[in-house]
Amino acid sequence: MIGIDPDRDRLEKIRKAEAPFFEPKLKECLADTIAEGVFSVADDSSVNMRSDLAYIAVGTPSSEDGSIDLTYVKNAAAAIGQSICDTTHYQLVVVKSTVVPGTARTLVKPVLEIESGKAAGKGFGLCSNPEFLREGNAVRDAELPDRIVIGGEDVDAITRLENFYKEFHGEPTPPVIRTTHESAELIKYANNAFLAMKVSFINTIANIAERTPNADVKAIAQGIGLDERIGSKFLNAGLGWGGSCFPKDLRALVRYSKSLHYDPELIEAIVATNEKQKRRAVELARQALGSLKGKRIAILGLAFKPETDDMREAVSIPLIRGLLTEGANVVAYDPAAMQNARAIFRDRITYASDPCGCLDQADCCIIATEWHEFKTITPRIFLERMRHPVVIDGRRIYNADEFSSEGIRFMGIGLGPKAS
Ligand code: UDX
């Protein structure tokens, strides 16, 4: 296996078996494959000429209008095409990157054909094969995917890729969906839009529950999640969804849909609901403290979700910006994302070196990411460390009754007021 990337610093790290970002199990995987000599890296795409299988797995960032920027996909296809123009063996090219429908057929295929001088289906094969792995769980998701989606117009190419996965995964092979390029490309967007919809839905119910005496969204999520038609996953109410995929993919789906002259009102509502939800913690802090000017607010959790250092479109960013605009002093802690946070906020906030230290003299604490280590902080610790024990549980990790009975002003997303 050869990984090709133009970023030499990244390649240097990988050669030393250092993972270029935080991802559980990645370091061990990298160390094993490098020690076994089965994985190397290069910045020169001509090394691809010897491969049987080439994955396009480059980024597809958002453009200003919300559509995706396909420059890297196009460049990768051109580099692959050039690398195979003098070869005689068949190479299978696979698009892993998340791309809008039509990209494989109308962009990747012609670029490969022009640059290689070969015809798709004869000189090389082309498949669309979106990935569904989650950050923080990427290694497991790669090893044990729920399903494998393979799109294409060339039955032989699809069968070759299916056989490759059968060998890679062994028995039982995950279910394989064979379809067209366009359906495969759209499956990825539909998948992420559906998951984001579940979260925006439960956040909507959380907002209704917060205004309903004695209601608790956690009980509601449990109650509906046991209905097999709904399922219990992605029903954790919170401060909203973020990350490198949901926001970008939903924007791209809206743009793509509008380019077809169809207004995807439901998808737009999922995004709008999330934008509103991101402001919820600032509203709750204001409700608890009145003016936030000069108040010391502790933020526990900065990454867009636990088990990652990724802060791309993390909810903590608009939350902290909102608090700073209101004149609050922010002190923050995250087990993995401190370096990324410093690059964003520089000296506008204070950085704590551990979660308990973050609470010192705070007027309010907001849980923004549900890291496991925060779950073990007891009400006693909050009481001892904080100036005013106000806890806004933005991820619902604590027992509300336990915290309230200890004398903490406890506010939780989706938690209605107590009434008898
Ligand atoms: C997502 C998809 O799950 C994955 O299949 C795709 O390949 C890439 O995008 P990821 O971005 O790693 O993966 O994160 P995910 O676990 O899906 O969470 C996305 C966001 O939703 C996070 O901000 C998370 O905090 C939030 N979320 C998730 C909730 O607020 N509540 C939930 O119940 C689940």
To the query of whether residue 245 is one of the catalytic residues in this protein, the response is yes
How many other CB atoms are found less than 10 A from the CB of residue 64? 6
Please report the atom of ligand 1 found closest to the CA of residue 369: 25
Rounded Cα gap, residues 281 and 266, in angstroms: 25
Report pLDDT digits (tens) over 304-337.
Answer: 999 999 999 999 999 999 999 999 999 999 999 9
Termini Cα distance of the chain: 65
| Ligand 1 centroid, distance to 116 Cα (angstroms) | 38
Above 90 in pLDDT, residue 49? no
Pocket lining: 242 vs ligand 1, CB cutoff 6 Å: yes
Pocket lining: 369 vs ligand 1, CB cutoff 6 Å: no
Question: Which contiguous run of DSSP H or E holds residue 332?
Answer: strand 329-333
Residue whose Cα lies nearest atom 2 of ligand 1: it is: 134
| Ligand 1 centroid, distance to 293 Cα (angstroms) | 33
Pocket lining: 238 vs ligand 1, CB cutoff 6 Å: yes
Annotated active-site residue in 245, 358, 364, 365 = 245
Please report the atom of ligand 1 found closest to the CA of residue 305: 25
Pocket lining: 267 vs ligand 1, CB cutoff 6 Å: no
Question: Which contiguous run of DSSP H or E holds residue 2?
Answer: strand 2-4
Please report the atom of ligand 1 found closest to the CA of residue 242: 23
Report pLDDT digits (tens) over 201-256.
Answer: 999 999 999 999 999 999 999 999 999 999 999 999 999 999 999 999 999 999 99
Pocket lining: 195 vs ligand 1, CB cutoff 6 Å: yes
| Ligand 1 centroid, distance to 196 Cα (angstroms) | 8
Report pLDDT digits (tens) over 245-302.
Answer: 999 999 999 999 999 999 999 999 999 999 999 999 999 999 999 999 999 999 999 9
Query: For 97-139, what is the HEC assignment?
Result: CCCCCCHHHHHHHHHHHHHHCCCECCCEEEEECCCCCCCCCHH
Please report the atom of ligand 1 found closest to the CA of residue 135: 12
Burial of 95 (0-12, 13-18, 19+ CB in 10 A): buried
When pLDDT is averaged across residues 38-58 and rounded to a whole number, the result is: 93
Pocket lining: 72 vs ligand 1, CB cutoff 6 Å: no
Helix spans in 231-302 (H): 246-259, 265-277, 280-289
The confidence score (pLDDT) of residue 70 equals: 97
Report pLDDT digits (tens) over 183-205.
Answer: 999 999 999 999 999 999 999 99
Mean pLDDT for the chain?
A: 96
Pocket lining: 329 vs ligand 1, CB cutoff 6 Å: no
- Contact predicate 341/359, CB 8 Å: no
Above 90 in pLDDT, residue 48? no
- Contact predicate 177/187, CB 8 Å: yes
Backbone conformation region of residue 24, classed left if phi is above 0, alpha if psi is from -120 to 50, else beta:
beta
